[in-house]
Amino acid sequence: MLEFANPTRFMALSRSVLPWLWAAAAGVLAIGLVLAFRAPADYQQGLTVLIMYIHVPSAWLAMMCYAVIATSSVGTLVWRHPLADVSARAAAPIGACFTFLALVTGSLWGKPMWGTWWVWDARLTSVLLLFLMYLGLIALWRAFDDPARAARPVAILALVGFVNIPIIKFSVDWWNTLHQPASVFRFDGPTIDPSMLWPLMVMAVAFTLLFLAIHVAAMRNEILRRRVRAMRVKAASTLVPAE
């Protein structure tokens, strides 16, 4: 872990790893899509189950991304790891995108299935709140002039949010049973047929690889961006016209 602590080493290491990540992501994604389209149609939902193969991985990634941010935040606050806040900063927009996809695909799945664009069931509502929390992180980051100064406040916010997630989940579940609609919405039934499980798993792996590739690339960009900023600040402070 410590050898990644040096940004320069990270840049060198990531440059060699990144092409493989992209290739792996593309490859597994292709396999996953083929498997998904060749899987049998669900007896209940027909072809619409195809949406499940992108909705569920998106939701998983949305949550995994927040876990990455929370872990990075611990790294920032406890160990002052130099790359920790770069990791968190890079991951936030990616997580927000996956959360957005989970919401939109969930909505597009819900309309043909249950007739409404939006369903206030426990899961979708929790994901909506997660989306708002991502936006909050990004908003707090952008409110600071110096991104390095934002690192620790955002880390605190991320961890407060992380601690809150089980509480929110519990509350929303409780709220949902209170307002129980006539039928119970289960996106993935208690048992998924193996013929659907495999494509789902492969798509999940594909999304994860894609996230890793984008994340590493975004971290590289963030490191470069901070170098550029530092150099511009230095340039601005030293270019004093000679009298």
- CA–CA separation, 202 vs 121, rounded Å? 27
- CA–CA separation, 134 vs 91, rounded Å? 10
- On whether the CB atoms of residues 10 and 4 are closer than 8 A, the answer is yes
In angstroms, how far apart are the furthest CA atoms of the chain?
83
CA dihedral over 116, 117, 123, 126, signed as positive or negative: negative
Nearer to another protein, 190 or 208 (CB): 208
* Residues near another protein (CB under 8 A): 46-48, 50-51, 54-55, 58, 77, 93-94, 97, 100-101, 104-105, 108-109, 111-112, 129, 132-133, 135-136, 139-140, 143-144, 149, 152-153, 156-157, 159-161, 163-164, 167-168, 170-172, 174-175, 178, 210, 214, 217-218, 220-221, 224-225, 227-228, 230-232, 234-235, 238-242
Q: Name the β-bridge partners of 42.
A: 46
Please, what is the minimum distance in Å from the beta carbon of residue 239 to another protein?
A: 5
Please, what is the minimum distance in Å from the beta carbon of residue 147 to another protein?
A: 13
Please, what is the minimum distance in Å from the beta carbon of residue 189 to another protein?
A: 19
Please, what is the minimum distance in Å from the beta carbon of residue 62 to another protein?
A: 12
Q: What is the per-residue DSSP string for 20-36? A: HHHHHHHHHHHHHHHHH
Nearer to another protein, 182 or 240 (CB): 240
